[in-house]
Amino acid sequence: MIFAPFLYAFIILFAITGWFSLVLDPVIGRAYQSGDFTAKAGQTLVVYPEHGVKAARWMAIGLGKEPLDRELFRVAGGTASAAGQKTKAKQMMVVLPGDLDFSPAEMAECLTEGLLLGVYQFRKYMTTDSEDQAPGCLESVLL
């Protein structure tokens, strides 16, 4: 079987407690229905999708219950960038939920701040460059 190369190392999705679309990914939906993923704020679920998806993995990040605020989206962006760093992802796609009671422009701004802050590493005084401590290589993020 020949697999096409992945377009993205990660596709990031967001979920609110009490709601998740089974259309996005049936595996994530089943995890939600079984209680393994409850979409609490900061909770993550990584899924390796079936063939036909141009991503190596999907990550659902819980946003908890409303009210939504700027800091929640900054933290979610930091969580996404940390996952990308850990797997040495080069490209990441973040899917902004369109049906939340929050400004999409403000959401994109806060997620971007969290993504940027999440990849920052102060390495001036680091003396070793072991494989585990090597900086991540995230090159692009598509919102």
Give the pLDDT confidence score for residue 3 in this predicted structure. 36
- The confidence band for 16, taking pLDDT boundaries of 50, 70 and 90, is low
Summarize the confidence of residues 13-29 as an average pLDDT: 61
The whole-model pTM stands at 0.77
DSSP H helical segments within 45-120, as ranges? 70-86, 104-119
